[in-house]
Amino acid sequence: MKFFIDTANVDEIRAAHDMGLVDGVTTNPSLVAKTGRNFHEVLTEIAALVDGPISAEVVALDTEGMLAEARELIKLHPKNIVIKVPMTPAGLKATRQLADEGIPVNMTLAFSPLQALLAAKAGAAYISPFVGRLDDVGHLGMEGVEQIRTIFDNYGFTTEIIVASVRSPLHVLNAALIGADICTIPYGVLLQLAKHPLTDTGIERFLADWQKSQV
Ligand code: G3P
């Protein structure tokens, strides 16, 4: 499973990248707003750091507006920028057009397996089911991911599943068990994945025993 990092914070991306854990990056307007920095400036900096897919989201709600934004965003790094488009009829139309032009699209704000099926048929390179936000309203987010995996496998769709809105290590574990292509993980959750109390106590014990051998 590929690991994307779900942040627009360049320091976090650098730290995760240095641990070899960044196959790509996903951003959204809220994540960029948290940095307090200019959208294009942040994306350019990320693209200089990471050689992998970097999702940049459009904010227009109509197809023409989405396409116009996409054509500007792709210029920031033609090889690695992926256009993030919302799951709406206008977004599906923009996705079909961009896919026909060879521009990869990540359809975002997907909450059902049927939305994922539409994204695949529209030619999206990626679909982002938001598992945490579904959990928030009492639905099992990961159940939807399981269904998307089945549907894509049934018909041989090559659209990659990005498990998004990840809130805990369990989301990452289940994404890997289901066979999601990608999990996009906030930096804090990434650090949690490395953590285990038995690792900490094991280190303490080895250090204490090593001291005993320094006679
Ligand atoms: O990848 C999508 C993500 O950024 C949304 O996460 O926590 O706002 O639901 P969250």
Distance of CA 33 from the midpoint of ligand 1 (Å) = 13
pLDDT of residue 213: 94
Cβ-based neighbours of 180, under 8 Å, separated by 6 or more? 1, 145, 149, 161, 162, 163
Which residue's CA is minimally distant from atom 8 of ligand 1? 165
Beta carbon of 40 within 6 Å of any ligand 1 atom: no
pLDDT of residue 199: 98
Q: Which residues are catalytic?
A: 84
Q: Which atom of ligand 1 is nearest to the CA of 136?
A: 9
Q: For 114-162, what is each residue's pLDDT tens digit?
A: 999 999 999 999 999 999 999 999 999 999 999 999 999 999 999 999 9
pTM recorded for the entire structure: 0.96
pLDDT of residue 57: 97
pLDDT of residue 200: 97
Given a contact cutoff of 8 angstroms between Cβ atoms, the answer to whether 111 and 133 are in contact is yes
Q: Which atom of ligand 1 is nearest to the CA of 26?
A: 1
Distance of CA 117 from the midpoint of ligand 1 (Å) = 21
Report the pLDDT averaged over residues 60-89. 98
Query: In 19-177, where do the E strands start and end?
Result: 24-26, 54-57, 81-86, 105-110, 126-129, 160-163
Cβ-defined contacts of 93-101 (< 8 Å, 24+): 93/63, 93/122, 94/58, 94/63, 94/66, 94/67, 94/70, 95/119, 95/122, 95/123, 95/124, 96/122, 96/123, 97/63, 97/67, 98/67, 98/70, 99/123, 99/124, 99/125
Report the pLDDT averaged over residues 12-35. 96
pLDDT of residue 208: 97
Task: Give the whole-angstrom CA distance, residue 210 versus residue 20.
Answer: 30
- pLDDT band with cut points at 50, 70 and 90 for residue 54: very high
Task: Give the whole-angstrom CA distance, residue 143 versus residue 135.
Answer: 10
